[in-house]
Amino acid sequence: MPENCSNNETESADMVTEAMQRIPDFIREREHSLAALFGFSLYSFSVLIWMKCPPILFNTLWWFKRHMAEWCLEERFRFADFFCGAAAQHEAFSAGCWPATKYDIKIDSAGQDILSAQGWMNYICMILSLIPCNSASFSGILCSSWVWICRDKTCRSERNVLGLLPDGSTYPSVGAGNKMVARATMGFMLQSALMIIWFLEQPLNSLMLRSPRMKHLQSFSFCHWISTWLGAFGSPTAKPTQILSNSRCVWKLKRRLRRKHFKARARTCDPHPKSGGVTGRPEELKTSQEYPPDFAHATFMAVRQAEFSELKLPVPTDLELSVQTEDLWDDADVISLVAWMRVPYNAPIVG
């Protein structure tokens, strides 16, 4: 428990109650309904339809309401640290007395693996445990198959972002990376519909944000992209990075890099001039993947100063309220989710 939050549980409970009271009327249309407590409204579903979300996301929400909603009401949060690793962001928000939770395969290899059906459901449950219009999340999706240092083993390139082989298949790690990004993209869409601030961080040389699903997400005007340096926040390496968010507050994380920011020098790879290749240094690479405390604290301060009202999206008034079924997002391995939840594959459940 943080020293400055000696009465952490009471303060967190009061914060949750206060945040619930601030949910806008256009999200909480029916104040006492179960759906309204999770932000399910005409507005939120209109946003999902406008963003052309697939039927599987709507069916997952239906499954959640039927099987998980009552359980998730027991504890609500204002911050979620997804794919958290060392959980620096979780620690920063917890230190600020924000009720926080975290999600990572290292925490629960079965229940928090987004590539599994159970892990997907828990991922969506964790998003829905966040209070609409008063919460935030941070995602550091696994980048190992997307960065330049691994491209000779992934076949990813500017022209072949998905790493497809001549026969249309992919290496296992590449296919897992594509599947992870497709599922996480649906999570970002859901958070946007619930007016939850989200951040996605990737190394600057990662191709993830150029994948088709991420490009679709960025095609909407609410996305903000910045580049910054973790070295400016105390990281032992310069580490240029990029952050995508649905909130303008991400610009508060923009930094210039100066030599005085470096407390130590570290090399994460060894170049081979003759072959043109590089060999990574595992220990140094692992250290460079951890977010410095100053970066996590800066994220917390940015969210604290954010205007949640700006997250309301300009959904067209003449929008046809029907779920698109042309693109079923098979790259997200929808079939395994359909089989696990026993829901339709190509149409949303009505009711």
> Considering the domain boundaries, does residue 198 fall inside one?
yes
Please tell me the total count of domains within the chain: 1
Q: Are the C-beta atoms of residues 59 and 121 closer than 8 Å to each other?
A: no
How much is the pLDDT for 314? 92
Selected residue with higher pLDDT from 241 and 237: 241
> Considering the domain boundaries, does residue 24 fall inside one?
no
Alpha-carbon gap, residue 252 to 250, rounded angstroms: 5
Tell me the two tokens of residue 2. 């943080």
Place of tokens 């072959």: 275
For 277, the enclosing helix (H) or strand (E) is strand 277-280
> Considering the domain boundaries, does residue 317 fall inside one?
yes
Which amino acid, residue 111? G
Please tell me whether residue 227 adopts helix, strand or coil conformation: strand
How much is the pLDDT for 342? 95
> Considering the domain boundaries, does residue 120 fall inside one?
yes
Which amino acid, residue 190? L
> Considering the domain boundaries, does residue 261 fall inside one?
yes
Domain that holds residue 301: 36-150+170-341
Task: Report the 10 Å Cβ neighbour count for 340.
Answer: 14
Q: Are the C-beta atoms of residues 133 and 195 closer than 8 Å to each other?
A: yes
pLDDT band for 1, please (50, 70, 90 cuts).
very low
- Half-sphere exposure for 44 (CA within 13 Å, toward CB): 29
Looking at residue 277, which CATH number applies to its domain? 3.40.50
Convert the pLDDT of each residue in 84-122 to its tens digit. 999 999 999 999 999 999 999 999 998 999 999 999 999
> Considering the domain boundaries, does residue 201 fall inside one?
yes
How much is the pLDDT for 345? 94
Q: Are the C-beta atoms of residues 247 and 226 closer than 8 Å to each other?
A: no
Q: Are the C-beta atoms of residues 53 and 323 closer than 8 Å to each other?
A: yes
Could you tell me whether strands 240-245 and 197-203 are parallel, antiparallel, or unpaired per DSSP bridges? Answer: antiparallel
Ramachandran class of 133: left when φ > 0, alpha when ψ lies in -120 to 50, beta otherwise: left
pLDDT at 59 exceeding the cut of 50? yes
- pTM comes to 0.88
pLDDT at 265 exceeding the cut of 70? no
> Considering the domain boundaries, does residue 333 fall inside one?
yes
Residue 132 vs residues 85, 101, 165, 244: alpha-carbon distances, Å: 25, 15, 42, 20
Q: What is the DSSP letter of 149?
A: G
User: Residue range 232-259: average pLDDT?
Assistant: 92
pLDDT band for 351, please (50, 70, 90 cuts).
low
pLDDT band for 337, please (50, 70, 90 cuts).
very high
Convert the pLDDT of each residue in 4-47 to its tens digit. 564 555 566 666 667 666 666 655 555 456 777 788 888 999 99
pLDDT at 53 exceeding the cut of 70? yes
Alpha-carbon gap, residue 160 to 139, rounded angstroms: 24
Residue 270, judged by CB atoms within 10 A of its CB (0-12, 13-18, 19+), counts as exposed
| % of residues, the chain, pLDDT over 70 | 81
Task: Report the 10 Å Cβ neighbour count for 91.
Answer: 20
pLDDT at 272 exceeding the cut of 80? no
| Closest residue by Cα to residue 93 from 19, 17, 12 | 12
> Considering the domain boundaries, does residue 29 fall inside one?
no
Alpha-carbon gap, residue 237 to 270, rounded angstroms: 14
Place of tokens 């428990």: 1
Task: Give residues with Cβ within 8 angstroms of 245, minimum separation 6.
Answer: 197, 198, 199, 200, 223, 224
User: Residue range 198-214: average pLDDT?
Assistant: 97
